[in-house]
Amino acid sequence: MSAKNSKSAMSRRTFIGIGSAIGAMAASDSRPLLAQPRSSQPVVISSGNGFLYRNGGSETCVERAYRMITEGNDVLESLVAGVNIVELDPEDTSVGFGGLPDASGNVTLDSCCMHGPLKRAGGVAALQGVRTPSNVAKAVADLTDHHLLVAEGAQDFARQMGFQIEDDLNTERSRQRYLEWRRRIDPSHYPDPNRQAKLNQESIKKFTRNSIKIAHEMANEGLIDPEHLYGTINCNGINSNGDICGVTTTSGLAWKIPGRVGDSPILGAGLYVSNDHGAAGSTGRGEANLYNLASFLVVEELRRGADPKDAGMTALQRIWENTETRLLSENGEPTFNVNFYVLGKDGRHAGVAFYGTSNNGDQRNYAVCDENGGRHEAIEGLIR
Ligand code: GLY
């Protein structure tokens, strides 16, 4: 780390440290929590892919969701219709149909949603065979007394609810990327499935390290989008009544150990919504977010009166403090990224991340749609 970077990282830490201290005071004293002013302007925000993919149509996720909200549709219904575009678009290899599969070659999907005014939530994890897991998550919220269904149970539920179940959600692209990953991780055993090594504890650790390393290698070679390694879309919106909802959907970590579930379907981790205070959702390394239930923390910070950017930065700081040494660089900085998309009750919003720019300096963005139309806005980085 250069002296300049070291100094700015230090001052940021000092600043965040003071911010955390103030937050802790607010949490421990007996002052009433601030009432949040209400927005009268609808707005939809999402991860950057929500203003990128159109699945061959004319609208992006945030544009469709905003249009539907302003036409008077239910906010959650509108957001789910928005993320369906990205789930169905095979070009986004981190969400829904055509998502990069797990280590066995199966596309397994995670999603959850929260309806602020109705105080309903639903999620599915490790779901196979349904292109739009967000719709199944919404059906769990609308039709059951449960909040999370997983694996075969989630698929059985989807089948009973009339969703089409497909044998394989791979596209030719995701299948080819998978075969390339298999060739690199296991050259001696590939392609004979009968010769796969039995995974003991050591080989699982080695497998995970190698898998991430190979994924980064393939991203550097342009074979996969580096943003699709963990991928995901989170989308949050508010209407003119101040009704707030959110949804998150993903194919999860590329080539994960089968059965791995990330943060996306977990309430408080991949998404949290309070109709009184705001919504937050996340993309990036799910394990980091799961350990801290950081979307819940962001909304708690909104409840204490923080603005969306500071609320997100506090959660990032917490994740950093709770990161294992093996995941920190020699400068003590996280070797992974986590992003939060934060929407306040007053309609203000922010996108924050450890790294707001990529290694080669490209600005990372989140998506917004309001009365000024759809656009990308810059993600603010805690570190860079
Ligand atoms: N954030 C998506 C995942 O880790 O699965």
List pLDDT tens digits, range 124-163.
999 999 999 999 999 999 999 999 999 999 999 999 999 9
Q: What is the rounded CA–CA span in Å between residue 365 and residue 287? A: 22
DSSP 35: P
User: Which of helix, strand or coil describes residue 219?
Assistant: helix
> pLDDT value at position 9?
39
Amino acid at 341: Y
**C-alpha of residue 372 to centroid of ligand 1, in Å:** 31
How far is the centre of ligand 1, averaged over its atoms, from the C-alpha of 233 (Å)?
Answer: 10
In this structure, are 86 and 60 located in the same domain?
A: yes
User: Distance between terminal CA atoms of the chain?
Assistant: 12
- Positive or negative, the CA dihedral 206, 208, 209, 211 is positive
- Model pLDDT for residues 322-336, shown as the tens digit of each residue: 999 999 999 999 999
pLDDT digits (tens, 9 = 90+) for 252-299: 999 999 999 999 999 999 999 999 999 999 999 999 999 999 999 999
Going by the DSSP 8-state scheme, the letter that residue 186 receives in this structure is -
SS3 category, 91: coil
The reply to whether 231 and 346 lie within a common domain is yes
- Of the pLDDT bands very low, low, confident and very high (cuts 50, 70, 90), residue 214 is confident
**Is residue 1 included in any domain, yes or no?**
no
| 125 and 191 part of one domain | no
Distance 289 CA to ligand 1 centre (A): 9
Percent of the chain residues past pLDDT 90, beyond the cut: 73
Task: Let me know if residue 22 belongs to a domain.
Answer: no
Residue 159 shares a structural domain with residue 241: yes
> Domain limits at 105?
43-170+227-381
- 35 part of a folded domain: no
Task: Evaluate whether residue 25 is within a structural domain.
Answer: no
CATH number for 239: 3.60.20.30
| Higher per-residue confidence, 104 vs 246 | 246
- Would you say the CB of residue 232 lies under 6 angstroms from ligand 1? yes
pLDDT of residue 206: 73
Please give the residue that has the higher pLDDT: either 205 or 191: 205
Q: What is the pLDDT of residue 175?
A: 93
Taking only the tens place, the pLDDT of each residue in 40-91 is 799 999 999 999 999 999 999 999 999 999 999 999 999 999 999 999 999 9
Q: Do 206 and 243 share a structural domain?
A: no
Q: Report pLDDT for 194.
A: 53
Ligand 1 within 6 A of 236 CB? no
Checking if the pLDDT of 32 tops 60, the result is no
Which pLDDT band, with edges at 50, 70 and 90, does 217 fall under? confident
Same domain, 327 and 185: no
- Calculate what percentage of the chain has a pLDDT beyond 70: 84
**12: in domain:** no
Which helix (H) or strand (E) segment is 279 a member of?
A: strand 278-284
Cβ–ligand 1 contact at 284 (below 6 Å): yes
Among the listed residues 84, 81, 104, 103, the one whose alpha carbon sits nearest the alpha carbon of residue 92: 84
Q: Is 309 helix (H, G, I), strand (E, B) or coil?
A: helix
Separation of CA 29 and ligand 1 centre (Å): 35
pLDDT at 201 (0 to 100)? 67
343 vs 228: CA distance, rounded Å: 23
Same domain, 324 and 212: no
Strand partners, 271: 267, 281
Q: Does 368 contact ligand 1 (Cβ within 6 A)?
A: no
How many domains would you assign to the chain? Answer: 2
Contact status, residue 295 vs residue 270, Cβ threshold 8 Å: yes
